[in-house]
Amino acid sequence: MSTPTTKVAYFCMEYGLDDKLKTYAGGLGILAGDYMKGAKDHNFPIVGIGLKWKQGYTDQYIDSEGKPYDSYKNQNYDFLEDTGVTVSVKIRQRDVKIKVWKCEAFGNAPLYLLDTDLPENEDAWITGQLYGWFGEERIAQEMVLGIGGVRALRALNIDVDLYHFNEGHALFAGFELIREKRDNGHDYGKAFAESREEIVFTTHTPVIQGNESHPIDRLMYMGANLGQTVEQLVDMGGAPFNMTVGALRLSKKSNAVAQLHGETAQEMWNHVEGRSEIVPITNAIHKPTWVDSAMTDAAEGKGDIWESHIKNKRALVEFVKERTGAELNENVLTLGFSRRAVAYKRANLLFRDPEVIDPLLRDGKLQIVYSGKAHPLDDGGKQLIAEIVGFSKKYPNAVVYVPNYDMATGSALTRGSDVWLNNPRRPKEASGTSGMKAAINGVLNCSTLDGWWPEACNHGVNGWQFGDGFVGKTEAEHDKHDGDALYKVLLDEVIPTYYDNREKWVEMMKQSILDCKDQFAVKRMLEEYYELLYV
């Protein structure tokens, strides 16, 4: 494509930049970090806006009873440059000063981080913990990101053609665009319509509870409305005010994050009158961050695939030993499973039938490495982790739980596992970029047909699917169907191929890499943003 000129300001609550910096919680932040890195590598005229989280997201470890607990620590931001710019936003009738820092690491695509941790602020805590709170605190954070973000761009004299909200958290930036136009004399209708022309939106989770909403009176009390009336807010986001619904109405175009998610999102938001069109643009990854180039080279004939993979597998064995003390066996088929601990992802599906799984784990046919945090306030998710920790005690060195899932863990696991297991209850998984990391590292995906996988899966050729896209009427029915299908594919295909047909296995690894390395690289995603969303 020709060099794009549309200048985009990208807003996101979290950015996965580096494994030492807890400015991300999960997939949303990893996507945003990879997007910025891609913008730098491929010279797209983009600036990022985020928050400078003092503590960021939780470190999560396991206590002596096998239960997860949370721990926060201050982050190190020595690498940031002080822009000298400060803006302010009135939150709950109080002026909050916001300092603007610049992250130079992205060269032509700088990332600006906003910070309220200043001595003059009574509300210094706003940029304290990422997703640490709901309610008023969350609204305050989103006001800093959205309203503070637009004011920072103005103060920095950065011209912007389009505002891209990655998730609904940034919606108040749209409120600020409306306010600016009204202050310039436009009536509300015209200000709304013109702001809409400058905004695009990415919607993520198809899980209804993941789409944040706030009582209207709370938005008014916080001062987030910026002069809009209760009726105007209700017309935009409903009551309670749903941030996703608001963003769908206050954007000229939206995107879903995989082809299947496009269909799911259309259906899910069909009832929203006046919403923007939702086009599917499948997520992708920044290969230099996640992929061992020896693997892509080997798939193209420059090197030995299996040898390079075994190096990565040994590195994983080392990593697991360092973090947990457990000793994996490099000759045993190794499944990797790491993702947020939440019910629909079914971390425990593999253990459904002890009669099937017990001998596989005891006889050294299979070993599995788990990782993943639960949201600090999600007791159900923490219970799931405790269950997996229980299995790791029952099957020492065959089932391992690595605490405190982070980018380093994600990287080690998506390079060094043999198989990437993914079994969400379709169609709840929006995309699932960890499977892309695995695929391009020659780690074979074994997954239900959810998120990105239906776009890449060539069963028995570059990985495996199980469940055939089944959607159960009840969760119990769904789990029984997929659980049986998982055992079948493991016993009939995955395990025999691994132990009895290494040649085919290596051929599948190669196919996985070749099929995915361009299709799921961030360059393709950025080009599609410019061709389908930023127009």
Ligand X SMILES: *Cc1c(COP(=O)(O)O)cnc(C)c1O
Chain residues binding ligand X by CB under 6 A are 26-27, 30, 339, 405-407, 410, 432-435, 437
Q: How many CB atoms lie within 10 A of CB 288?
A: 13
Alpha helices, DSSP H, located in 337-462: 354-362, 379-394, 407-416, 433-440, 453-456
Q: How far is the CB of 26 from ligand X (least distance, A)?
A: 4
Nearer to ligand X, 142 or 450 (CB): 450
d(CA 402, CA 338): 9
CA angle in degrees (0–180, nearest 5) for 297-298-301: 95
Nearer to ligand X, 96 or 413 (CB): 413
SS3 305: helix
d(CA 223, CA 234): 15
Nearer to ligand X, 409 or 462 (CB): 409
Q: How far is the CB of 430 from ligand X (least distance, A)?
A: 8
Q: How far is the CB of 218 from ligand X (least distance, A)?
A: 30
Q: How far is the CB of 339 from ligand X (least distance, A)?
A: 4
- Tokens at 523, concatenated: 């360059």
Nearer to ligand X, 285 or 317 (CB): 285
SS3 of 391-423: HHHHCCCCEEEECCCCHHHHHHHHHHCCEEEEC
Closest listed residue to residue 363, CA positions, set 398, 321, 314: 398
- Tokens at 172, concatenated: 């108040």
Nearer to ligand X, 22 or 196 (CB): 22
Q: How far is the CB of 92 from ligand X (least distance, A)?
A: 33
Q: How far is the CB of 9 from ligand X (least distance, A)?
A: 24
Cβ density class 95-106: b for 16+ within 10 Å, e for less: ebbbbbbbbeeb
The residue sitting closest to ligand X, measured at its beta carbon, is 410
**Whole-Å CA distances, 4 to 1, 32, 276, 425:** 8, 19, 23, 38
Nearer to ligand X, 255 or 497 (CB): 255
Closest listed residue to residue 279, CA positions, set 262, 265, 261, 296: 262
Q: How far is the CB of 486 from ligand X (least distance, A)?
A: 18
Nearer to ligand X, 347 or 407 (CB): 407
Nearer to ligand X, 174 or 410 (CB): 410
Q: How far is the CB of 73 from ligand X (least distance, A)?
A: 18
